[in-house]
A and B are shown apart, each in its own frame.
Chain A
Amino acid sequence: MTSPLSLLHFLNGLGGEAVERHGPWPRLVVDEAAWKALIGQLAVSRWSLLGLWAEQGVVHMALRDAEGDEFAVASLPCPDGRFPSVSGVRPSAQRLERAIQDLYGMTAVGLADGRPWLDHGRWPLRHPLAASPGEPGQMPPYEFLPVLGEGLHQIPVGPVHAGIIEPGHFRFHANGEAVARLEERLGYVHKGVEKLMEGRSVAEAGRIIARLSGDSTVAYGFAFALAVEAALRHDPPPRAIWLRGLMAELERIANHLGDIGAICNDASFAVMLALCGALRERVLRAADQCFGHRLMMDRVVPGGVTHDLNPEGAALLRSLVSELRPALADVVHLYDEENSLLDRTMGTGIVSGTLVHRFGAGGIVGRASNRDIDARRTPCYAPYGFFDFDVPTSFAGDVNARVWMRMREVASSLDLIEAMVRDMPSGDLMSDLPAAVGEGMPAAAGEGMALVEGFRGEILVWVRLDADGRIARCHPRDPSWFQWPLLEAAIKDNIVADFPLCNKSFNCSYSGHDL
């Protein structure tokens, strides 16, 4: 058996040109032959697709090497607006390419599913991010994939759902109670975030990206800050880095607790919702007292953080941890002792490890199906290199496994919070970003990317700053892009009544995905 080919080794062998001032990982500009060679290599390698996005006349693909922990971006200039589709070898690229076609009017050559994705024919223009956007045209009605067979019926759900959740459309083809196919249609909450960020200052863009998916506001702020700082070769002060980690773990715990309660509630086990809802509220109140906002919005910014943790806050977090540890034990006990609840969650909504790897899905969904990745560990970013922490995985891939991942991650995050509060360095909260245009090379220009582990999984943010330090292009890729398609697989052959359970156990973001 030969040793696996290194991603960077392969990319460098393609004859591409490395882009200066792209950090922390390399970006290579390749030609079409090299892009096709890369697609050919993807067919036989285990490299995962981290993101696929465009700008005018160029398409970018971010990849990770499964073996060597290498990261890189390949960019293909395509002045005629056509680029070879990656979706044949990485099905997770399909919706990303449909989005690129909608936003830029470019063509992914070879993309099997050419239907629009984000564009529902309701914008005042077409291809809003293209150099010259088009007039809105009449769009044919969206055709759902056909399902053939006797006794099948359709159940349309949404975009306005019965609960307090985000909008999206689900089209079920069911045979009695059994789901033959679920097809998702998303894009309802598309707000044009990428266009809105163009030309904005770093601070203004930060406020927008903090509102891409409200439940991950800290993680997005964190990822955006890291990407901007990578572009500017800038290091924030140590205390700011630790405070970012602290807020990120508080956000993770709050969301996991909310999800555990909500999943059990969808199996009609309301007592867990009451219990976890109270615990979540404790975390949010602690966050409010420490950092002045329950969701900690706009607290993590490029250059540092806006709020410090005072001694009273530190004491509050210590007591929060000591209160939550036994409470979590109660949650685990309550969950694990209730046979009628386990009957609903075990063996329900199974996602195979093969699919999870093929789609490059991370987070809870990935780890519950044995995809052992966590951006906090690899590529790793400060402050996580200072800590040992548990990243739980499971082979089962069912709703039960996804509940367990959350419970174990809460325990792991509580340890992290305790350690971060205990060992936090002192010092400044902010350091000024280079803003002025320097000698020779503009100091404020550059490109950066970052991977941050939100509660849902890996968030990718890629940013290019112009010479004035304003946003030339920013692309945030939510972990949901690679998880939503797997929900369609998870519900197949389950009963319709188990859909809320499956859906909640994924808890994908609509807003983060719809951009």
Chain B
Amino acid sequence: MWKLLATTLLNGPRTEPPPPVSTDALLELAASVNRAARARLGRSLSIRQVDAGSCNGCELEIHALGNVFHDLERFGLRFVASPRHADVLLVTGPVTANMREALLRTWNATPEPKWVVASGDCACTGGVFAGSYAVAGRVEDVIPVDLHIPGCPPSPRDLLSALLALLQVASSG
């Protein structure tokens, strides 16, 4: 333990500079974030992740946002355990028929103002699972979506650059 702490102190942080803010995301968000919301949220966002049917690939990369290289929390972005504490729902997967109600209830439990980010190809389009009897559709087919992050799965840098856009829009009131 002490050896590890000493090494960490001597080597300095491994955290990398953030990726550029996604311009695509900025454009998409421009319409959906109003002034009142900006004023209320300030420079921090609480994110509730909801797996609505993903293959867990997206979850792996969302987890990676918390590692020392990406260190999501330095930007004021953090994951919370309850939708009631959340400003953002980060939804992955095609919405399965069996998860549709759970997603709706999670969305209803999230206080206004709130945004929904559809993360990954399945969340954006249904991906390879589109058209299945067991899939209710894209995230957009179930709840309103403010931001789409494509990728299978989106890399941590893609996720970070889109979430930073959200933060920038939310705090530039």
Contacts and interface: CB of A to CB of B under 8 A. Distances in A.
A43 B134 CA distance: 36
B132 A192 contact: yes
A160 B50 contact: yes
Interface stretch (B18-26, B33-41, B59-67): B59-67
Interface string A407-425: 0000000000000000000
What size tier do the contact residues of chain A reach?
35 or more
Contacts of A188: 53, 96, 98-99, 102
Interface string A203-218: 0000110011111010
A166 interface: yes
A334 interface: yes
A190 B68 contact: no
Contact of A281 (B52, B53, B69, B93): B69
B32 interface: no
Contact of A509 (B56, B66, B122): B56
Interface in A476-512: 509-511
B56 A166 contact: yes
B98 A192 contact: no
Interface string A85-124: 0000000000000000000000000000000000010111
B129 A196 contact: yes
Nearest to A196: B132
Contacts, number: 147
Interface string B43-57: 000000111111111
Contact of A191 (B4, B14, B63, B94): B94
Nearest to A274: B68
* Nearest 10 A/B pairs, CB to CB: A214-B57, A192-B134, A277-B67, A162-B81, A192-B132, A214-B55, A122-B97, A211-B55, A214-B56, A120-B98
26 contacts: A122-B98, A122-B101, A123-B134, A128-B133, A160-B83, A162-B81, A164-B62, A164-B79, A167-B52, A189-B93, A190-B96, A192-B133, A195-B132, A211-B55, A211-B128, A211-B129, A213-B55, A213-B56, A214-B57, A215-B56, A274-B67, A280-B67, A295-B57, A297-B57, A333-B3, A511-B56
Interface of B: 1, 3-4, 14, 49-64, 66-69, 79, 81-83, 93-94, 96-102, 106, 122, 127-129, 131-135, 152-153, 155
